[in-house]
Amino acid sequence: MSDWHLQSVSQLRQSLDTRQVGAVELARHFLGRIEASPLNAFIDVRPELTLEQATLADKRLSSGERGPLLGLPIAHKDIFVTRGWRSTAGSRMLADYVSPFDATVVERLSVAGAVCLGKTNCDEFAMGSSNEHSYFGAVRNPWDHSAVPGGSSGGSAAAVAAGLAPLATGTDTGGSVRQPAAMCGVTGIKPTYGRVSRFGMIAFASSLDQGGAFGASATDCAALLGPMVGFDPRDATSLQQPAEDFSSGMRASPIPADRSAGVSESTPLAGLRIGVPREFFGEGLAPDVERIVRSGLRVLESLGAVLLEVTLPRTRLAIPAYYVIAPAEASSNLSRFDGVRYGHRAQDYTDLRDLYRKSRAEGFGAEVRRRIMVGTYVLSHGYYDAYYLQAQKLRRLIAEDFATAFTQVDVIGGPVSPTAAWNLGEIVDDPVRNYLADIYTLGASLAGLPGLSMPAGFNDAHRPVGLQLIGPRFAESRLLAVADRFQNATDWHLRRPPE
């Protein structure tokens, strides 16, 4: 069968379990597609390691072992260190680094039997909204090769959309799973902060970074996310929250028990209250994106949900708050890359200070250097109180806005990004426009809330547009269930880009 890349995860699971296909054959199929792809979605592919893992998976399957991910190919964003593969964070600073150990996410998925296809391209140290800030070159959008795929997890999103991998991991600091999922027409979920271990995740902003999952559908994402979550004693930010089977959880009703009466197959969301933030539909939202998002909300309404207007009054403050807090944490996290202890080392230097300066100037790209400078400035003496401390106060107020909204509604729905994917190079030199692309995703990240993006249509240029769902803490199963009901009623998630 030559169209394994068109199969859903559940279909591939059945084919593996019934031995219609072996893990090695499946891995070879996807490796061949990666080799032929013009998208630049992967940084490092090592077929010998992939086939070694696939051979072990076949032995486990032959012995009668079964599991949701056993034998399934998967791609990892190159922010997760992976034993045997290069782990570069999309940067020259780590261009030749091969990790001697696995990140917790990689380790858990490996134990579950997933077969690693390779490491996907990303914005350098996860800093960017377009995947153009990678030392290894920009990733191209599978739907239009002249467009960006979104970032920073653009390589993972593009890989799933183009059928280079059925599943992929990503990270979301300010929207870096949800935004590329929307722009590539796939489903992506960022769980509650602290649910997925950050151990072995190359740090950008420690209080915001969170691992996430990409798949064609909510069902696929649920299968991947399950093994990823759970407490990890090696991560000081890991929550003492038990592991969860999201696949079974999403099959349950997302409606609170006190409002579940009257739910039927024709109205599976009857009683669900969806908040529509007034601030998400104002100035700056492209008309074609608004039309598609409102159409998607009407689909949810037709399934029985009730749409209620809510207000998140500090939405416009999310960008200045985030772009103080995140660069401040980045400047601290990236200080270790000095050419002595870690990372690229300059060849010609006169003394230790010159070594530091040249190594960091050569190793870091322009966007990373910009954010390090901003972060160092806001943490410096005389500016900490005026900028960093005020940004943290705003963060608390933004979280309170969401908490107030969730006393009135069960989930929040709206756009992921103000526009669909823009052209490569169009705004790469305009950081403010790049930052504005995250305005609808930053709030949930600052508040540590789970968020999901699902395909909802195409704009006038036939580029994908996503519908975002945000939930209260630990509401991942609810978000996945709502997305699943939406995808049972629509076929946007089944659309595939032209070969």
DSSP 8-state code for residue 130: S
- Where b means 16+ CB within 10 Å and e means fewer, 376-386 reads bebbeeeeeee
CB 402 within 8 A of CB 449: yes
Alpha helices (runs of H) in 46-197, residue ranges in sequence order? 47-62, 104-111, 154-161, 178-184
Give catalytic status of residue 152 as yes or no.
yes
pTM summary value: 0.96
**pLDDT tens, position by position, for the chain (499 residues)?**
579 999 999 999 999 999 999 999 999 999 999 999 999 999 999 999 999 999 999 999 999 999 999 999 999 999 999 999 999 999 999 999 999 999 999 999 999 999 999 999 999 999 999 999 999 999 999 999 999 999 999 999 999 999 999 999 999 999 999 999 999 999 999 999 999 999 999 999 999 999 999 999 999 999 999 999 999 999 999 999 888 899 998 888 899 878 877 778 789 999 999 999 999 999 999 999 999 999 999 999 999 999 999 999 999 999 999 999 999 999 999 999 999 988 999 999 999 999 999 999 999 999 999 999 999 999 998 899 999 999 999 999 999 999 999 999 999 999 999 999 999 999 998 988 889 999 999 999 999 999 999 999 999 999 999 999 999 999 999 999 999 999 999 999 999 999 8
Rounded Cα–Cα distance for residues 467 and 478 (Å): 15
Closest CA to 253 of 45, 499, 484: 484
- Where b means 16+ CB within 10 Å and e means fewer, 250-260 reads beebbbeeeee
Rounded Cα–Cα distance for residues 183 and 417 (Å): 9
Residues 6+ apart with CB under 8 A from 389: none
CB 442 within 8 A of CB 434: no
Helix or strand (DSSP H, E) at 189: strand 187-190
Whole-angstrom CA distances from 286 to 245, 289, 419 are 37, 5, 6
Residues 6+ apart with CB under 8 A from 68: 13, 112, 223, 226, 227, 247
Query: Which residue in the list 15, 77, 197, 445 is annotated as catalytic?
Result: 77
Q: Is 236 exposed, middle or buried (0-12, 13-18, 19+ CB in 10 A)?
A: exposed
Query: Which residue in the list 87, 99, 176, 453 is annotated as catalytic?
Result: 176
Percentages (nearest 5) of helix, strand, coil residues in the chain:
40, 15, 45
Give catalytic status of residue 77 as yes or no.
yes
Query: Which residue in the list 99, 129, 130, 152 is annotated as catalytic?
Result: 152
Rounded Cα–Cα distance for residues 190 and 212 (Å): 5
